[in-house]
């Protein structure tokens, strides 16, 4: 059932299935060889359809970026996304701004009910609120938009201490647990749900985590600019993301790594980067949800 739903989501997003496959893994990721061979992964849970759904949408955003690069950059140093901050702006844009919107919930509700008859009695409003419920949690990849960046801050502060020589690898679990209590008010029951939940550090990917926060902020400003010329909610509700995708392809995807990140985004925004767009987006969305 969940695999069928993944195929449906990729179709709705406008992902070229001829050049993008999907498979299963423990920790979802996207990889690519060029813009003709991109691969995404997800993880299915028997008791949590939503986890895989947003995983597919998130990784699908990465895939669209890679698929949208101009052919001329293939097999050169300019192929692929220019930075992880830009890459995460695309994945977080699709996962949250599109995937958790009322318009998207309205679009996919019939498919969800067809796949899971138990949802027949659940209204679109209830689904929307469930997909956007905000509460402190243990797992970064499952975190809601409002608390997500607190997970990033924990990792960022720990990385700084590691590189400053103020913290050793052996001390990581205790410091992680302490900071989750301080930042999110939750107790960590095990290292599996704590310091070992991400694969990034074991892969040597230090300095990566802030790109998720930066990408989220980029995404909010892109959304604000896009709405000036694209009826985003209307297009999403109709199941037609072609104009959304074309807008991003024209301003970001097609350039591969040709332009430096700051130059690329300022051209897309037609203004300097301004994180207040992200703050305003969160404030307006969650004030409406929680009054």
Catalytic residue among 59, 66, 88, 145, which?
A: 59
pTM, whole model, 2 decimals? 0.94
Which residues have a Cβ under 8 Å from the Cβ of 239 and sit 6 or more positions away? 12, 107
pLDDT for the residue numbered 284: 97
d(C-alpha 121, C-alpha 108), whole Å: 15
Per-residue pLDDT, 3: 85
- Which DSSP symbol is given to 230? -
Q: Say what the pLDDT of residue 285 is.
A: 97
For residue 59, indicate whether it is catalytic: yes
Q: Write down the residue that tokens 């060029």 correspond to.
A: 34
Q: Are strands 37-42 and 30-34 parallel, antiparallel or unpaired?
A: antiparallel
Determine the Cα–Cα distance for residues 208 and 213; give it in Å rounded to an integer: 10
Laid out side by side, the sheet with 20-24 consists of 20-24, 37-42, 30-34
Residue 4 is predicted with a pLDDT of: 87
d(CA 234, CA 231): 5
The secondary structure element, H or E, covering residue 16 is: none
Each of the 291 residues of the chain gets a pLDDT tens digit; together they read 788 889 999 999 999 999 999 999 988 999 999 999 999 999 998 888 888 999 999 999 999 999 999 999 999 999 999 999 999 999 999 999 999 999 999 999 999 999 889 899 999 999 999 999 999 999 999 999 999 999 999 999 999 999 999 999 999 999 999 999 999 999 999 999 999 999 999 999 999 999 999 999 999 999 999 999 999 999 999 999 999 999 999 999 999 999 999 999 999 999 999 999 999 999 999 999 999
Taking the CA atoms of residue 172, residue 178, residue 183 and residue 186 in that order, the dihedral angle to the nearest 10 degrees is 110
pLDDT of residue 27: 85
- Is the backbone of residue 256 left (phi > 0), alpha (psi -120 to 50) or beta? left
DSSP string computed for 24-76? E-SS--EEEEETTEEEEEE--BTTBHHHHHHHHHHHHHHHHHHHTS-GGGTTS
């Amino acid at each position: 059932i969940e695999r069928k739903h993944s195929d449906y989501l990729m179709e709705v997003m406008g992902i070229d299935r001829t050049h993008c496959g999907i498979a299963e893994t423990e920790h979802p990721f996207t990889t690519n060889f060029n813009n003709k061979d991109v691969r995404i992964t997800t993880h299915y849970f028997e008791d949590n359809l939503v986890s895989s759904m947003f995983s597919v949408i998130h990784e699908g955003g990465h895939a669209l970026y890679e698929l949208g690069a101009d052919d001329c950059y293939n097999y050169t140093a300019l192929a692929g996304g220019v930075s992880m901050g830009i890459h995460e702006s695309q994945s977080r844009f699709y996962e949250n701004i599109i995937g958790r919107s009322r318009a998207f919930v309205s679009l996919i509700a019939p498919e969800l009910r067809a796949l899971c008859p138990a949802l027949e009695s659940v209204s679109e409003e209830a689904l929307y609120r469930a997909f956007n419920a905000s509460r402190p949690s243990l797992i970064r990849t499952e975190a809601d938009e409002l608390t997500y960046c607190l997970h990033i801050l924990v990792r960022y502060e720990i990385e700084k201490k590691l590189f400053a020589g103020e913290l050793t690898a052996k001390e990581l679990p205790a410091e992680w647990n302490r900071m989750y209590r301080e930042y999110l008010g939750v107790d960590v029951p095990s290292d599996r749900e704590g310091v070992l939940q991400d694969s990034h550090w074991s892969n040597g990917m230090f300095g990566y985590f802030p790109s998720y926060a930066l990408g989220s902020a980029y995404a909010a400003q892109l959304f604000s600019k896009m709405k000036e010329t694209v009826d985003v909610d209307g297009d999403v509700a109709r199941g037609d993301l072609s104009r959304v995708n074309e807008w991003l392809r024209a301003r970001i995807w097609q350039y591969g790594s040709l332009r430096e990140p700051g130059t690329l985004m300022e051209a897309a925004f037609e203004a300097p980067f301004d994180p207040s767009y992200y703050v305003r987006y969160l404030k307006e969305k969650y004030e409406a949800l929680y009054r």
